[in-house]
Amino acid sequence: MRRFAASVMLLLSSLGAAAEQYVDDGPFRVHYAAVNTTALTPEVARQFGVARTRNEILLVLNAQQRIDGRYVPVPATASGTATTLLGHVQTLELRAVREAEVHYVVASFQTLDGEFMTIDAQVLPQGANAPLQVRFRQQFYRD
């Protein structure tokens, strides 16, 4: 199980190597990443309950709270959508996944090769008074 958490953290850190992707609001932070499921190892895909297919994207959200100067993972709930440039909206079925002390909120959605998607998610970390807004646009390619 610790190997799973390490695999996910490696995946998230490699996705954000150019620029770490997160939003802050007060003591809360939400890291986010979206990746084609073919980039996942079979073990990670199983843990997240997704199929490794060329047109399936996995959205991973990780809420954290700053306590004594460091960020620690906290459970969260979320809702959101994935929207194409033409306005086709997919409602995301976000669900919680826990691995040891790390909490994720994940969803998968479909995309076409080269398609730009705008991801909007409202993430409510445990202990927060209001959700954090995560919004980003990303172009997805098939492997």
What are the average pLDDT values for consecutive 10-residue runs of the chain, which has 143 residues? 52 53 97 96 92 95 97 97 97 94 95 97 98 97 82
Q: What is the CATH number of the domain that holds 78?
A: 2.60.40.3340
pLDDT attached to residue 19: 57
pLDDT attached to residue 101: 87
Q: In the structure encoding, which two tokens stand for residue 142, read together?
A: 């098939």
Which domain covers residue 63, as residue numbers?
2-140
pLDDT attached to residue 20: 81
pLDDT attached to residue 16: 45
pLDDT attached to residue 99: 86
Q: How many domains does the chain have?
A: 1
CA distances from 95 to 18, 50, 107 (A): 27, 12, 7
